Every structure is written in structure tokens, then in C-alpha cells.
Structure 1
Amino acid sequence: MKNTIYIVEDDIDISYILDYYLREEGFNVAVFGTVREFRKAIKSSVPDLFLLDVMLPDGDGITVCNQVKSDPKTSWLPVIMMSAHLTDKYNIGCSAEEFIPKPFDLERLLKRINYHLHISGPH
């Protein structure tokens, strides 16, 4: 069974590249351009991993990360944060498993995704 990744990213170009690349690598992918779209989707299904941008048009990925980590049905799932504006993972204000600064290398990102999916175990 394919792992599902929820991406919350408002940059259309980055969203498209991530969506295309991760689908080519065998993942199911759902992309959300706003926090509102994400919150609507998370009510009906839960992914295997979250990939969150920090700065979003209607909120921020830090708040989303904190909500994911405080919800018992998602708290154990891996969260990877992305940002072009923050460079220190310890200053992002949430308990994400990983921080990836933008721009990022897709192969490195894929390795980190696979690593976190592996250590989080089967769902």
C-alpha cells in the first residue's frame, strides 16, 4: 500500500514540483494551498506524513504542526517543516521531526521522507 503525504504549500510552483516528484516516487499525495483546505481534509482522512510550509496565506505551518502534534489521532505521525525564511529548526516553535530549508534538494527530501516513514512504522 502506498504511503500518503499531505503537503501544505501555497507556492504553486513548489506544490507542483513536490506533487509530481513524490507521485513519481510512488506516494499518494494531497496538496493544500491554505490552512483552511488542509483542516477540511484532515477531518475525513489522515496521511502517513505531513510536509508543511511555514508561511501560508491564511495562517502558518507552525500552528498546523502544533495542532497535528496535539491531536491523539495524528500526534505520532511525522511532520517535516519547510521554509525559505527560517534557517534554524530549533526556532520554528513546533515539535516537527525535521526542518528543511528552501530551496531544497529533492533527492535529500525524499531520503528524509523515507527515513521518517520507516521509523514511524506501519500504520
Structure 2
Amino acid sequence: MADGKKRHRVLIVEDEDNIALALDYVLTREGYQHDRIANGAEALPMIRDTSPDLVLLDVMLPEVSGYEICQNVRMDPKLKDVKILMMTARGSAMERRKGLALGADGFIAKPFELKELRDEVRKLLEPDGEGAGGDA
């Protein structure tokens, strides 16, 4: 970036292609670098390898649940700065409490509005209110 600001790196862990495409769209417009994996078993090794600033983490994934991934990230001191935004189609208060109790920094119910997602991502990555991109 020309202004010398660090570009935030985001990892999308989502097995549904249509949702991953929407996430990709929002993150690209906001100027974030991002990768995507669709399998829960691949998430933790990828998080350890890349230390993203934020993980957009689906709760229901093949092989390993988002809850297990969240818990494992929080147990690893090297990953203490990684923010986690959990996403689920089962957006009940109980699901939310469970995710936050396991260490998630935020929780969003699917289907979500793109603006709602963008605002949540900005809140976690830009706590000082400085957005990575322009207003969309």
C-alpha cells in the first residue's frame, strides 16, 4: 500500500462456495489479502503456517468443527493475536455464547448482509476506525 499501512491478511474457512464467494467479494473490495480453505481439518495447520490477522470461521465444517478450531487456536500462545469471527446458519443465542466462550472475537449469523459482515470485519481489524478500503 502506498501509505505504508499493513494490509490485513484474512483466512476464510467456509465449505459452501456461494458464501465463500460473497466473503471473497467483500474482502477484495475492502483491500484485504485473503485465502480460503473449505475443510476443517486443513484450517489449523493453515492458521499456524500463515498467522492471519482474522479468521472467518464457519461453525459447521467437514471433519473438524469451527468450535474445535477456535478452541485450538486459543490454546496456542503463538496465535494469541489472531482474531476469529465465527459464522453459522444456526444463529441462536446458545450457539453465540458457545462460540464466544471458546474465544471467538465475534459471531455472525448466516445469511448475513454484506454490509453487516464488512462492519464486523472492520471492527475486528480496524479498531481505531481506519478502514482498509473506501466506503462501499
Provide the TM-score with structure 2 as the length reference.
Answer: 0.80
- Matched length: 120
Provide, for residues 10-31 of structure 1, a one-character-per-residue CA deviation record: whole Å limited to 9, x for no partner: 0011011111221121001111
Structure 1 equivalent of residue 31 of structure 2: 26
Worse-matched range after superposition: 80-89 or 53-62:
80-89
Structure 2 equivalent of residue 107 of structure 1: 115
In terms of fraction of residues, the more strand-rich structure is: 1
1:24-103 equivalence runs, <5 A = 24-88=29-93, 89-92=96-99, 93-103=101-111
Which ranges of 4 or more aligned residues in structure 1 deviate by more than 6 Å? none
Q: Secondary structure at the match of 2:23?
A: helix
Report if aligned partners of 1:50, 1:78 keep a CA contact under 8 Å in 2: yes
Report if aligned partners of 1:34, 1:58 keep a CA contact under 8 Å in 2: yes
Worse-matched range after superposition: 90-99 or 5-14:
90-99
Q: Secondary structure at the match of 1:119?
A: coil
Report if aligned partners of 2:26, 2:118 keep a CA contact under 8 Å in 1: no
Provide, for residues 48-93 of structure 1, a one-character-per-residue CA deviation record: whole Å limited to 9, x for no partner: 0111000001111000001111111112321110000132211335
Provide the TM-score with structure 1 as the length reference.
Answer: 0.88
RMSD: 1.7
Structure 2 residue 5 is the aligned partner of structure 1 residue 4: no
Distance 2:37 2:21 in 1: 11
Measured after TM superposition, the shift of residue 96 of structure 1 is 0.6
Worse-matched range after superposition: 73-82 or 39-48:
39-48
Computing the radius of gyration from Cα coordinates, the structure with the larger value is 2
Q: Secondary structure at the match of 2:86?
A: strand
Gaps of 5+ in 2: 1-5, 129-136
Gaps of 5+ in 1: none
